[in-house]
Amino acid sequence: MLEKILDTIDLYINSLQKDYPKALTDNLWQVIINLRKYSDGQPRDDHGRWTDGGGGDSSSSSGGMSSGRNNEQTPNTNTSKIEQVGNVDFNDKQAVLKVLSDAEKEFVDLPYEKCRTVTSDGKVWDTTGTSGTVDNSEIEKMGSSLKGSYSYHNHPKNETYFSFSGEDAGDFISKGEEMSIASDYKYLYFMQRQSNTVSADYSTVKRDFNYILQTDVYQLSINEMIDIDEDGYHQTIETLSKKYNFSYRRVAKHG
């Protein structure tokens, strides 16, 4: 029964693709991908909810940073390659930002995501991910804390929505990072913690991001006030930054 329902929804989404923004239909496809992990015969708990996994991650742990596209390809944390590549005086914030600026020049045109992290002990780490995601969580198993860290990661040209994703924001808030920087071929974007930034787990932040995107921001697109593919995530992060009290800005790289 579930498969028949999902097949019908597949046909409906296909019919939408000619008239609706790609970001909207991409999001609907992701819902279908998650639901197909379930089956009618799968065990349920006492509340009738499916068990044994499926349907996405409901845990509070981080799922890593992401451009927001192709999240069904997101690997587990063990698949990201992490290595220490240097050291820097963490008290010299100009030197720390120079490390991230160098990473932007080095990583921005890569066809996969890569992250450079500077932890508060002055260690510099590079994490190599996939075309749509990168996760630096394993750094903490190597003895350095991500709390208070600075990081940069790229969004490949064919994967970007031109701002931070819900995964990026969830990572930034839940790990206690001081600053997160990302970029693509068109924009640079920044999140920075403030003294009154609200704490939350990864899944809560991601859920809030998706709610804002699917309600207020999609309505702006329907009203033809924004280009959802270029400005949907930007508008969503702007609203999210007010809810969680962090600084956010996006800067065009040319012009």
Looking at the predicted structure, is the pLDDT value of residue 54 above 50? no
Flag the least confident range among 28-32, 62-66, 145-149: 28-32
pLDDT digits (tens, 9 = 90+) for 154-194: 999 999 999 999 999 999 999 999 999 999 999 999 999 99
What sign has the CA pseudo-torsion 216, 219, 223, 224?
A: positive
pLDDT number for residue 255: 56
Rounded to an integer, what distance in angstroms lies between the CA atom of residue 151 and that of residue 178?
9
As to burial, measured by CB atoms within 10 angstroms (0-12 exposed, 13-18 middle, 19+ buried), residue 227 is middle
Determine the pLDDT at residue 86.
97
Pairing type for strands 123-128 and 114-118 reads antiparallel
Least confident of 62-71, 153-162, 204-213, 214-223: 62-71
Give residue 193's pLDDT. Answer: 97
pTM score above 0.85: no
Which CA distances in Å does 222 have to 17, 20, 21? 14, 9, 9
CA–CA distances in Å: residue 143 to residues 87, 107, 242, 246: 14, 25, 33, 27
Q: Where are the beta strands (DSSP E) in the chain?
A: 65-66, 81-87, 114-118, 123-128, 133-134, 150-154, 179-183, 187-193, 246-252
Mean pLDDT of 79-87: 89
Kind of pairing between the strands at 150-154 and 133-134:
unpaired
Give, in degrees to the nearest 5, the angle at Cα 149 between 128 and 65: 40
Quote the CA–CA distance of 136 and 151 in Å, as a whole number.
Answer: 10
pLDDT in tens, 107-141: 999 999 999 999 999 999 999 999 889 999 999 99
Domain range annotation of the chain: 57-252
Q: How many CA atoms lie within 13 A of 74 on its CB side?
A: 22
